[in-house]
Amino acid sequence: MGSGSLGDFIHQLSVVQETFLNTGKKGRVYLSNQGYPFGFGLERAFTDLKDVVESQSYVESFHLHAGEPVDIDLSSWRQSPLLYASNWRTIFENTFRVSWALHKWLTLPESEYGDVIVIGMSLRRVPPIDWGFLDRLPGPALFVTDRQDEIDHWRSVSGSDLPAAVLPNLYELHRVIHGSRIFVGNLSSPLAVAMAAHRPSVGLRSHSVDDVHLTGLEGACPFFRLADREPIREIESLLQNT
């Protein structure tokens, strides 16, 4: 059983996959507000995630939780003494006693964005960076979201007229991120998707207590970098090594 937010839930799915690889048993995944509610409501989260979750080979079925007994509470990491003291890998492995992020845990159909640098950010954490890096990206780039207000916000923050696409649903958004050349984003569900898909990705520091969850993950997620004010260096480094 897993709960919000969307990015946290995506991270939790790695536990389902690694448990399946260890036991051969597919997961019956339940969605719940227990532990931490979804920002736009439980029912909307379930509807948005349904096609994504049910398409994963390690998932037997996906349901709203209605009091059924569960073997693994995927939200139990929130009670870890390591919360806000260590990164996702350490917290999850300490809580669930399985590897975290060892294998790619999000697989979706290929997209037409294989040569595109995809950028996606939530409104919650504005990274204090030099947005001029958007004008120096080595190759075609696209801002993606499923919300027009995010595009409007980031255009006003960055001053950039970078091409943008509003995708019709989370499935299509996740598919574009999954198939991108490289992903750039702040601590958010789009970055969680890129990490789950083992895409080369750059996480932008928000300089909040949440950054600790991304610190030191370079060894856990292939081709992941955490960037400060000059993300162009990390982007170029990743492109040279992929």
pLDDT tens sequence for the chain (242 residues): 555 688 889 999 999 999 999 999 999 999 988 767 777 788 988 998 999 999 999 999 999 988 888 999 999 999 999 999 999 999 999 999 999 999 999 999 888 888 999 999 887 777 888 888 888 888 899 999 988 888 888 888 888 888 999 999 889 999 999 999 999 988 888 999 999 999 999 999 887 788 899 988 887 777 899 987 788 888 888 888 76
Same-domain status, 10 and 48? yes
Q: What is the distance between the alpha carbons of residues 48 and 26, in angstroms, rounded to a whole number?
A: 21
Residue with tokens 């030191």: 216
Same-domain status, 133 and 235? yes
Same-domain status, 55 and 123? no
Answer yes or no: are the C-beta atoms of 224 and 217 closer than 8 Å.
yes
Same-domain status, 236 and 129? yes
Same-domain status, 161 and 90? no
Q: What is the distance between the alpha carbons of residues 229 and 182, in angstroms, rounded to a whole number?
A: 18
Q: Give the number of other CB atoms < 10 A from CB of residue 136.
A: 11
Domain with 133, as residue range(s), is 117-240
Q: Is position 101 within any domain?
A: no
Q: Is position 106 within any domain?
A: no
Q: Give the number of other CB atoms < 10 A from CB of residue 66.
A: 7
Q: Is position 102 within any domain?
A: no
Q: Is position 42 within any domain?
A: yes
DSSP, collapsed to helix, strand or coil, labels residue 71 as: coil
Same-domain status, 132 and 78? no
Same-domain status, 136 and 34? no
Answer yes or no: are the C-beta atoms of 167 and 177 closer than 8 Å.
no
Same-domain status, 79 and 138? no
DSSP, collapsed to helix, strand or coil, labels residue 233 as: helix
Entry field: residues in the chain: 242
- Global pTM reads 0.92
Answer yes or no: are the C-beta atoms of 117 and 139 closer than 8 Å.
yes
The count of structural domains within the chain is 2
Same-domain status, 224 and 136? yes
Q: Is position 200 within any domain?
A: yes
CATH number at residue 148: 3.40.50.2000
Q: Is position 112 within any domain?
A: no
Same-domain status, 149 and 75? no
